Structure 1
Amino acid sequence: MGVRSGYWEHIRASGFRLPDDRPLDDLTAELVQMLGDPDPRVRDGIARPVLLTWIGDGVYDDLLPGFGDGVAEGLYTGLGDDGTDTVFRRAGSARLLAEAVLRDQVARVLHSDAIFRWGDRAASWFVRERDLRGYVDGRGWAHAVAHGADLLAALARSEHFEKLELTVLLDVVADRLLTPAGYHFRNGEDDRLAFAVMTVLHRNLLDVDVLEPWVERLAAALVPPPDEDDEPQPEWPTPVAGNTGSFLRALHLQLALGVVGQQTPRDVALFGTPPHVRADLLLVLLRVLRASRPGLFSAPSR
């Protein structure tokens, strides 16, 4: 597997206890490199659970700014590739960076500059990511969109992010959805993106005057092109239209039913009551969803 598999298997069997026979820097560098291994037994079976456990246990608390900066560099490994193994390092880096952001909610060890820096890097990567595959035959999960959405949701929880930064996160979601792509979401990416937006909404810092234009921008992608005489009709919906429609329906459903986060005191408090824009935003979503399929949905009752 290109790693000392027996060594790491022993650590996994120990409950991921931090070994004392090698420097933490060396262990971390090896694990981060393993995040990009095409073998899911290496990256998902060893590297990711070890690193996530150590982050959650506070192993990196005193080193979290530098650790996060190093992990964030992995977001750019092979950026621009599509259909190659480099996506595993980028997606894995997003997952780890999300955990580092969440850890700060407990440890309180990060300055706002670090969170803003990670947010800028995450936004730049997420919009530019071209490899949107979910499950890759013979390689396992890539899931760059899903892990990117989880990273946005982690950032949205951060108290370092206020109204301006949360508005930017919404724009990042819209930019990701509206950027031309060749993949139709089929592995829950729409739900993960919708949950990221729900996390923004539950901060109760954005009003419907910000949210309505944002929804209208997305709704414009749901309008099919006009028929042209003597011209073959393009595929419809395009991946952009299909993914955007799925996202808006997922957001409507999550807003209607409510969501829960992790079973932590902070998430229990954050998601314990509906966002204050719930009623107004539901009406906006109902309007644009009805308009997107006038031959399917009934008109609103008067």
Structure 2
Amino acid sequence: MTEDLTRMLGDPDPDIREGIAFPTMATWIDEGVYDDLLVGLGDGMCHGLDVGLGAREGDTVFRRSFSALILTECIDRTTVAGLGGPDVVMRWGDRVMSWLSREQDLRGFVPGKGWAHAVAHGADALGALARSPYLGRLELTVVLDVIADRLLAGTDAFLVCGEDDRLAFATMHLLRRDILGLDVLEPWVARLAAGARTRGSATVNPFRVAGNVQGYLRSLHLQLALSPAGPTGHPAVRSDLLLVLMEQLRATNPAYFAPRRAH
């Protein structure tokens, strides 16, 4: 049945992929059905990330994207049940981050076939990695770099299906670990902000980078400001990081925040 369900993760029919395969496997993982086989299952999902990688359209994106979503469940299960160990989670993390950086099919919703959502599902996997106790300062810094690399890469179309919110949500999980300080976060925000400034071009729409980055920075600011405190409170850097984000959002949107002229 697992072989069948794995194949069904890549089915272009959303009733099969999203209605049967994903919820069944996710439930079984959450309930511990796969605990003795979890490492093999996660490794299999890593192989699914390579199916058709490099294609900008077609149906192979479903297999890659939903493999990432199942891998998210596998990573979370290792955290909850203490399974796998650091080497396994690091191996899965390397594969997820490599795939997300190289994914070319960035369609969110495919009419007639449902959600592709590779970037959003990749963000979910990054969030699971950020929650894992096996990731320390170095690994969490790499997660931030992958988020920035993905957002700063030129795209054929805008990310308009909530991908910026999902990436920001993954970042919130990372911030709640209270491992990375402003010494890492402030230059990282500055790097993103450098890509949030539009530059004129007669051939390439500059918002295909700047718009995606702006959406992410705004979403991160909003989530950091409005999200309720977790069990241990707000992230320790919350107040300082909010100021950094506000400063960069003002700087990258000068037309909206320039002083009013006296008449």
2:211 aligned with 1:242, yes or no? yes
Indicate the residue corresponding to 1:157 in structure 2.
131
The answer as to whether partners of 2:199 and 2:206 remain within 8 angstroms in 1 is: no
> Is it true that 1:285 corresponds to 2:255 in the alignment?
no
Q: How many Å separate the matches in 2 of 1:58 and 1:224?
A: 48
Give matches, 1:204-283, under 5 Å. 204-225=178-199, 233-234=202-203, 236-258=205-227, 269=231, 272-283=232-243
User: In structure 2, how many angstroms separate the alpha carbons of the residues matched to 1:259 and 1:77?
Assistant: 39
Paired position in structure 2 for 1:8: none
The reply on whether 1:189 has 2:158 as its aligned counterpart is no
Distance, in Å, in 1 between the alignment partners of 2:54 and 2:115 is 19
Quote the residue 1:96 is aligned against: 70
Q: Which residue of 2 aligns with 1:18?
A: none
The alpha carbon displacement at 1:223 in A equals: 2.0
Q: Following the alignment from structure 2 to structure 1, what is the Cα–Cα distance between the partners of residues 118 and 174? A: 20
Pairwise CA distance, 1:36: 0.4
| Residues in 1 aligned to 2:84 and 2:167: alpha-carbon distance in whole angstroms | 25
8 A contact 2:105–2:118 mirrored in 1? yes
Gaps of 5+ in 1: 1-26, 227-231, 261-267
Residue 187 (structure 1) shift: 1.1
RMSD across aligned C-alpha pairs, in angstroms?
1.4
2:17 to 43, 51, 57: 43
The runs of 4+ residues in structure 1 deviating greater than 3 Å are: 232-237
- Structure 1 residue 66 displacement after superposition: 1.1
Conserved? CA contact 2:164–2:219, under 8 Å: yes
Instruction: Give unpaired runs (5+ residues) of structure 2.
Output: none
The residue identity in structure 1 corresponding to 2:196 is L
Question: What's the TM-score once normalised by structure 2's chain length?
Answer: 0.95
Distance in structure 1 (CA, Å) of the matches to 2:257 and 2:117: 32
Deviations 1:162-211 (A, max 9, x none): 11111000001001101111121211111100011111100000000100
Distance 1:296 1:92 in 2: 40
Return the offset for 1:233.
Answer: 3.8
Structure 2 counterparts to residues 5-154 of structure 1, below 5 A: 27-154=1-128
Question: Which structure has the larger Rg over C-alpha atoms?
Answer: 1
- Could you tell me how far apart the structure 2 residues matched to 1:246 and 1:207 are? 23
Q: What amino acid does structure 2 have at the position aligned with 1:149?
A: A
Percent identity between the aligned chains? 56
- Matched length: 259
Q: Is the 8 A contact 1:62 1:109 kept in 2?
A: no
Query: How far off its partner does 1:41 sit?
Result: 1.0
Quote how far apart the aligned CAs of 1:126 are.
0.2
